[in-house]
Amino acid sequence: MPTREEITYFGAGPASLPTTVLQNASSAILNFQNTGLGIAEHSHRSALSSDIIATTESSLRNLLSIPKDYTVIFMQGGGTTQFSAVPYNLLGYWKLKRARMDYAVTGGWSQKGSEEAKRLYGDESVNVITNSKKVFGSYGGIEEEKEWKRTEGEERVFTYYCDNETVDGVEFPGFPSSLEGGVVAADMSSNILSRRVDVSRFHLIFAGAQKNIGTTGLTIVILKSSILQTQPTPTTLRALGLPIPPIMMDYPILAKSNSLYNTLPIFDVWIAGEVMKELIAAGGLAKQEEVANRKAERLYAALGRAPGIFKIVPLEGARSRMNICARAQPVELEGVFLKGAEERGLLGLKGHRSVGGIRISNYNSIREVDVDTLVQYIDEFGQRNA
C-alpha cells in the first residue's frame, strides 16, 4: 500500500487537502483544544463552534476582500442545492410575475442550473443567453459576449453563470464585462480561492468546499445583504402563483441564525478555516493566483509539446486553470497513459464519466513539484509514443 507521500491525487473532487491541515485535523477529531471532546462532538450551539464560524468567515473576508454590505452563509447540500436556492432567493428582485432569468450555459454544471430553474419556474421564465454546445458542437469554449441573447429591460431579474466548468475544462478568464451593473449570480465551486475576485460585481457567489476550500459537505454563499431585506413573503408568493423556498434554502432565515438554523457540520467549517489560514500565511490570493497560473501553463505546455498524442479539449481563450482536459490519440492510448500514471503515484487523472479522456485537476493543494513530476511523465509518454 502506498503512503501519502508516495502519491499525488489530481482528482476533480473531492480533491486532496494540504497534509498539514489533515495532520492537525487528526488531533482535533480526538481532542479539540484540550476539551476532552473531538471537534465533531461539540455542540453547534457552543461558544467554541460560534468562534470557529466567526474565524472562518473572517479569513474568507480577508482573502476575498468581501465588502461590509455582503453576508456570508455556511450551508449544506453542495452546489446542486444552490441550483434551486439561487432562483428562489432572487425573487426579491422580481417586479412582475412574468420575469426572466438569464443563464449562460457553458458546460454541464450551468446546464444543470438552468434546467433546475426551468423545472421550478417553467421554460418561459428562463432565457439561455448562450449555449456553448450549440455554438461549438461541444462544451469547449465561451461564445463572444456580443453574441449573447440577453433579456432586455426590467424583465431580466438576474444573470447566472458557472465561472469554471470542471467536466470539459472551461473557465471564464474574468468577469464578463457585458454583465457589469446587473444582478449576477456565479457558481465558483471549482475555482474559488484560486485567484482574486471583485466580489462587489456580484450579487451572489456560491461554492461547494470540496475543491479548493475543504471537505465535502460544506457550501459557502456570499451575497449582497440587500437581498436579505427584499424577499417577498410566503403570502405574496402564493398570490403570484410562485413557489415558496424550502426553509433550508431560505437565505434570510439562515443568515439570521448565523448559519445555525439546523446542525451545521462544524468540523467541515473548521477544516475550511484551516485551509484559509494557510492561504493567508502563504501570501493570499495574489500569490495563489500566480502559482495557479504557473502550474497551468506548465501543464498545457507539456500537452502541447505532443500534439500528435494529446489533443487539448477547450479552445485556447477558455481553458481552465483548474481542470486541464485532453484526449489521447488514438483513444486506446488513454488507458496506457492512465495506467502508467498510477504506477508512478499520479492518481485521479481519468476524465469525467460523461466524456472520458484525461483530466488534470490543478487545485490549490497541488504543489508545483507535483506538477513538475506529471509534466516529466507527459513528456516521456509523448516521446515514447511519437
The pLDDT of residue 169: 98
Query: Are 242 and 185 part of one and the same domain?
Result: yes
In one-letter notation, the amino acid at residue 251 is Y
pLDDT at 324 over 90: yes
Alpha helices in the chain (DSSP H): 19-28, 47-64, 78-89, 108-121, 132-136, 226-229, 234-240, 251-256, 266-281, 284-304, 332-343, 368-384
What gap in Å lies between CA 350 and CA 377, rounded to an integer?
Answer: 15
Query: Are 334 and 272 part of one and the same domain?
Result: no
pLDDT at 97 over 60: no
Query: Are 121 and 246 part of one and the same domain?
Result: yes
For residue 127, give the 3-state DSSP assignment: strand
pLDDT class for 93, splitting at 50, 70, 90?
Answer: low
pLDDT class for 172, splitting at 50, 70, 90?
Answer: very high
Tally the domains of the chain.
2
Query: Are 273 and 316 part of one and the same domain?
Result: no
Rounded average pLDDT over 213-219: 96
Catalytic residues, by residue number, are: 109, 187, 211
Is the separation of the CB atoms in 186 and 90 below 8 Å? no
Out of 230, 246, 279, pick the residue that ends a domain. 279
Query: Are 66 and 152 part of one and the same domain?
Result: yes
CATH code of the domain containing 310? 3.90.1150.10
Check whether the bond before 330 is cis (ω within 30° of 0): yes
Q: In this predicted model, what pLDDT tens digit does every residue of 333-348 receive, in sequence order?
A: 999 999 999 999 999 9
Out of 263, 279, 295, pick the residue that ends a domain. 279
Out of 247, 279, 311, pick the residue that ends a domain. 279
C-alpha cell at 215: 471537505
Q: In this predicted model, what pLDDT tens digit does every residue of 277-305 receive, in sequence order?
A: 999 999 999 999 999 999 999 999 999 99
Q: What is the DSSP string of 33-98?
A: GGSSS-GGGS-TTSHHHHHHHHHHHHHHHHHHT--TTEEEEEESSHHHHHHHHHHHHGGGG--SSS
pLDDT class for 367, splitting at 50, 70, 90?
Answer: very high
C-alpha cell at 279: 492561504
Full domain range(s) for residue 236? 32-279
Q: pTM for this one?
A: 0.96
Is the separation of the CB atoms in 202 and 147 below 8 Å? no
Within a domain: 24: no
Q: In this predicted model, what pLDDT tens digit does every residue of 173-209 receive, in sequence order?
A: 999 999 999 999 999 999 999 999 999 999 999 999 9
CATH code of the domain containing 258? 3.40.640.10
